[in-house]
Structure 1
């Protein structure tokens, strides 16, 4: 019998496996229910790894736990997309930048002092978020408020240095063992994507893209050395797969934007990862209508968190046909299907039976609930999906 790790790697290479790999993302479900005391009775005192072993499923490592860090100062730059957590393969430091940091309850405010003006940010991480199993704080004040902030933000990124941070990742790889592969989180899909996703509110970015496109391109250019440093350090880490880019959606990263500002960087990242002996994964968790052809052009290896209808417009069969065995799907099961508030038991059974028919031979597919198993998941539905996956039989591409 193959191990979960062997099964995932064989699936990625298009090789036969003894069964469909099932690697559900359960970290948020686990943390949320653990905090509320609502884990299933048999798992009341279990670790997440113990639950995975009992269910006989793989360990989902694509999304790092952003709340594992050595010092509170490690995470104060989160609003810039700079995480100082132990779970990432890189850490950052600043040259020529002074920060004023203040705390008010669950809110952290940071002021960055630069020769081109000061930049302020604020993040929130409260008890309700912790009880929900969330590990990513909310950015309540973005760094860029207007075009007047571009030079200061560009200066900040020009004065970032990236250092390797491999100790935790190496230990985690040993801990996970044969249960899965280890993903190393790099940055967003490109510097311009980082501006859109991390540094500005979406609506403000769209106006700026129309009114100040050249200024945005200049800022993206100033951020490019940082982006490349992060990618290079991540590729050299103990990670098996490199995670670069996330949160695409046809309305936010529309086709022309994706083609012009993400595709070139993502393609280069794929080439660099392959040259370093690593696979590249990107987090395709939104509405992928009209974006699928660009994914194929990028030639990345894994499309993580593919979420089909009814949460998006494409069926799983349509997405598989578009990828044509060139991209491995990690996901495929929409989160609403495991919620009683969204589907009755009858509707769930009918939906899951049809979903498995859409899998065809089952090649290039690692099953998971996309984006993640919700805390309110009906656990028996997960058990049923696991049972059907095991009964699917061997996969012969």
Structure 2
């Protein structure tokens, strides 16, 4: 947060013994809902939007992104399958307390912060380790009256056939060409009646792209996906993105006639 990011140069779990240590840490870690932070966010947001939150990634994605790294995760699933799958099952059980807290909170919109990429979560792993987890957790949150969307900001083409049947209410940060690997029309054809969140590739806000290019693209997004659209930048505005272009998009939205 705060405009800063990080890059993992080393992952904490490199062996089965490391899994045991990591497990011990999590067994002694408790999830808490901070009502004071929620109230502070409500005061800051006012009527400009809705306070939301994102969750820890699913066990498979957590291994890939922050715990073992992609290469080691895949190697361990091949060479140490029982230990690795048991480790993921432990993380799934640990997640129960997190989802219970969220289900009982006043938050209405929940972001599954997965950062999905078809190159890191190819179809066979997506079907085996991710879809069942999503179905379980979204069902749990839907029962508590929550809306759920998922953060998908990587390569998309190989995952397009799954999007319409995913249990989420919306799909967020889907990044089309010229930044991603799919067209807007391919996205439209693949998501069914789900809500699209964002939709405008962040590189169009760079100085290298003209205002006219951004205007044309924005109007295409509006025409294709409105009214099931929460327009935004896919994935985030770059540090050297032009804020004047954001203002320009805001004016386009005000002038847009969906009829």
Q: Do these two structures clear the TM 0.5 threshold for a shared fold by scoring above it?
A: yes
- 1:290 is aligned to 158
Assess, with a 3 A threshold, how the Cα gap between structure 1 residues 288 and 346 changes in structure 2: closer, same or farther: same
- 2:229 is aligned to 365
CA apart distance, 1:346: 4.8
Secondary structure at the aligned position of 1:247 is classed as strand
User: For each residue in 1:84-141, what CA deviation from the matched residue of structure 2 results, as whole angstroms up to 9, or x when unmatched?
Assistant: xxxxxxxxxxxxxxxxxxxxxxxxxxxxxxxxxxxxxxxxxxxxxxxxx21x444333
- 1:240 is aligned to 108
| Contact 2:163–2:190 (CA under 8 A) maintained in structure 1 | no
Secondary structure at the aligned position of 1:283 is classed as strand
User: For each residue in 1:307-346, what CA deviation from the matched residue of structure 2 results, as whole angstroms up to 9, or x when unmatched?
Assistant: 1111112222221221121x111110001111123x2445
| Contact 1:263–1:294 (CA under 8 A) maintained in structure 2 | no
- Kindly indicate whether residue 75 of structure 2 is the aligned counterpart of residue 207 of structure 1: yes
Secondary structure at the aligned position of 1:297 is classed as coil
Trace 1:271-282 onto structure 2 (pairs within 5 A): 271-282=139-150
Q: Which has the higher helix share?
A: 2
Once residues 329 and 176 of structure 1 are traced to their aligned partners in structure 2, the CA distance between those partners, rounded to angstroms, is 22
Once residues 213 and 245 of structure 1 are traced to their aligned partners in structure 2, the CA distance between those partners, rounded to angstroms, is 25
Trace 1:215-226 onto structure 2 (pairs within 5 A): 215-226=83-94
1:390 alignment partner, one of 244, 254, 257: 254
Q: Which has the higher strand share?
A: 1
| Contact 1:311–1:334 (CA under 8 A) maintained in structure 2 | yes
1:229 alignment partner, one of 65, 87, 97: 97
- Kindly indicate whether residue 6 of structure 2 is the aligned counterpart of residue 143 of structure 1: no
- Kindly indicate whether residue 26 of structure 2 is the aligned counterpart of residue 157 of structure 1: yes
Once residues 366 and 352 of structure 1 are traced to their aligned partners in structure 2, the CA distance between those partners, rounded to angstroms, is 12
Assess, with a 3 A threshold, how the Cα gap between structure 1 residues 301 and 320 changes in structure 2: closer, same or farther: same
- 1:379 is aligned to 243
Assess, with a 3 A threshold, how the Cα gap between structure 1 residues 175 and 350 changes in structure 2: closer, same or farther: closer
Secondary structure at the aligned position of 1:225 is classed as helix
**Relative to structure 2, which stretch is displaced further, 153-162 or 167-176?**
153-162
Bigger Rg over Cα: 1
CA apart distance, 1:281: 1.6
Q: CA RMSD in A?
A: 2.1
Unpaired segments ≥5 residues, structure 2: none
Unpaired segments ≥5 residues, structure 1: 1-64, 68-132
Assess, with a 3 A threshold, how the Cα gap between structure 1 residues 293 and 255 changes in structure 2: closer, same or farther: same
